[in-house]
Amino acid sequence: MALLTDKVAVVTGASRGVGAATARLLAAEGARVVLCARRREGLEQAAHTLDPDGSRCLIAPADVGTLDGMKGLVDAALGRFGRIDLFINNAGAGVRKPIEETTEGEWDLMFAVNVKAVFRSLRELIPVMRRQGGGHIINVSSMASTAGQPTLGPYAASKAALNLLTESAGEELRNDNIKVSLVMPGSIATNFLARVAADRNPSPAAKPRLTPEQVAAMIVAIAA
């Protein structure tokens, strides 16, 4: 029997990269998967790849950087499958610029997606998972959060905040059978990396070291 047979797993940022690879691997391990991203087109392609007849997969387009988007995603998953066993906060936003050139709008976007969306997911999921007897929330951070680097300050700050939020939630929920885990990959060969690699002062950290499939394998290993 597959490791995650009939578990209900929600993946944000699931239309490409790490999210799409994670959804494919979860489905291969028997999970029923809810795929979320802002644009339906990418989700439809990803969903068809992992579940051609659509019986074990739900597409849920949403902007998880907004309150309505996160609430709508959780409601859609519960409406289709009745429970959420695994929720993977993979959606992220990043800008690589010197601090003096980073706009407040860019700062706000990174914190809205990388931190506040996870906070909102916790508020939505904790009551659900308590009622059903448990669950697992996995938050995708970055090794960039562990040390200061030129042109990555605001992004790293948002991921460092995510790390502490995750650790605090794990301590709070220790006795509720709700696990809150953190995955901290290094540089990944994704579209985000391709964008930042062309910056004026790319750091050695911008060199791809992991494929999306390798990071997906880390996530599913924790989930199983």
Give the residue numbers annotated as catalytic, written as ranges. Answer: 155
DSSP state letters, 163-218 = HHHHHHHHHHTGGGTEEEEEE----B-SHHHHHHTTSSS--GGGS--B-HHHHHHH
Give backbone dihedrals phi and psi of 136, rounded to 5 degrees, phi first: -145, 125
Q: How far apart are CA 23 and CA 33, in angstroms?
A: 7
Cα dihedral sign, 54-113-185-123:
negative
**Beta bridge pairs of residue 75:** none
Q: How far apart are CA 31 and CA 136, in angstroms?
A: 14
Find the angle CA(50)-CA(20)-CA(18) to the nearest 5 degrees: 145
Other C-beta atoms closer than 10 Å to the C-beta of 100 total: 5
User: What are the residues whose beta carbons fall under 8 Å from the beta carbon of 46, sequence distance 6 or more?
Assistant: 14, 15, 16, 20, 23, 24, 35
* Cβ atoms of residues 86 and 136 within 8 Å: yes
